Amino acid sequence: MTVAVGLGFMDFPFSSADAYWRWVALCEEGGVDSVWQTDRLVSEQPFLECMSAMAALAGATKQLKFGMNVVSVGLRDPLLLAKQCATIDMLSNGRLLPGFGIGNIRAADWKTTGANTEGRGRRSNEALEIISRLWVEDSVDFHGEFYRYENVMISPKPVQKHLPMWLGGASKPAIRRTARFGTGWQAGLETPDEVAPVIAAIKEALIEEDRTIDTDHYGGAFSYRFGSWDDHPVQATAAFFRDRLAREPEPRIVTGGTADILDRIEAFIAAGASKFILSPIGKGDDEIFFQTERLICDVLPRIDNFNP
């Protein structure tokens, strides 16, 4: 089991493109494993369109990996999404980490675009099968409930011979979906106590599907701040978790110092997760940079202590 730490945001907390690219360079130079962008089309808050951001990251970096956490498959055409992923993976020499989910039903994207939420799980299952086949097969025929394709092909193929397919979600259908299609599972807002039974259920479902997922392809996530729970940015994040996501914020936010963050990482490792997406909590460029630099200098050097 190899432990790795990436950074990601639900929104776009920077003042400008220049500030964002300075942050990306800081992550690459500082040894951050990967950067992640949440998918959202309609929002009062600034959000980058995740597939466009992946393409931009491919050209702006040399070593840093990057992924979507997670792209809403139910809102996107699977042929286009498969082609986008293959193109970005090729242009980045194999650094894309695609993450897929059915999409948050509370998001305004569904109503605004007129997309039907009924059957979105079955529609996502079909899309994931199509995407995974297009990445490796010369030609794909598919006749499903939602999609029909005849002699469809994409080229170039992804550089990664087995392009990862990280899936999210903790429901029973999401667990089954991960066992059927996934090469990894990434937690969203789940705590270590909530992650452990999901990972166990996925491993059980994998036996039934006669598939395997690498033991170090299970991930955890949490928001962090070097500081106090009473800091205004923390309280704003807590209110967002509580009011907009209907989740209790206390178990999903870590404040304090290096030891507190490492303790949470260790708790996730004990639950079976070893890949991490951490979200710095800060208001404005200076705070985001400070939180990122502290993580790079104080936390990342100690991650090797968890590796064999």
59 class by beta-carbon count within 10 Å (0-12 exposed, 13-18 middle, 19+ buried): exposed
Quick one: what percent of the chain has pLDDT higher than 90? Answer: 84
Q: How far apart are CA 237 and CA 19, in angstroms?
A: 21
**What is the C-alpha separation between 223 and 250, in angstroms, rounded?**
10
Q: Which domain holds residue 176?
A: 4-306
Tell me the sheet residues that pair with 219.
186, 275
Model confidence pLDDT, tens digit, residues 217-244: 999 999 999 999 999 999 999 998 999 8
Distances (CA, A) of 231 to 5, 226, 235, 255, 263: 24, 10, 6, 9, 21
Which residue type is seen at 183? T
Q: Is 205 exposed, middle or buried (0-12, 13-18, 19+ CB in 10 A)?
A: middle
* CATH code: domain of residue 41: 3.20.20.30
Residue 27 pLDDT > 90: yes
Percent of the chain's residues with pLDDT above 70: 100
**In the chain, how many domains are there?**
1
Q: How many CB atoms lie within 10 A of CB 197?
A: 14
- Residue (of 292, 224, 237, 288) closest to 14 by Cα position: 288
pLDDT tens, position by position, 164-189: 999 999 999 999 999 999 999 999 99
What is the pLDDT at residue 238? 96
- Cα separation, 220 vs 138, in Å, equals 35
* pTM metric for this prediction: 0.94
| pLDDT of 297 strictly over 80 | yes
pLDDT digits (tens, 9 = 90+) for 136-152: 999 999 999 999 999 99
Is residue 112 pLDDT above 90, yes or no?
no
Summarize pLDDT for 74-87 with one digit per residue, the tens: 889 999 999 999 99
What is the per-residue pLDDT for 308? Answer: 76
Q: What is the pLDDT of residue 171?
A: 92
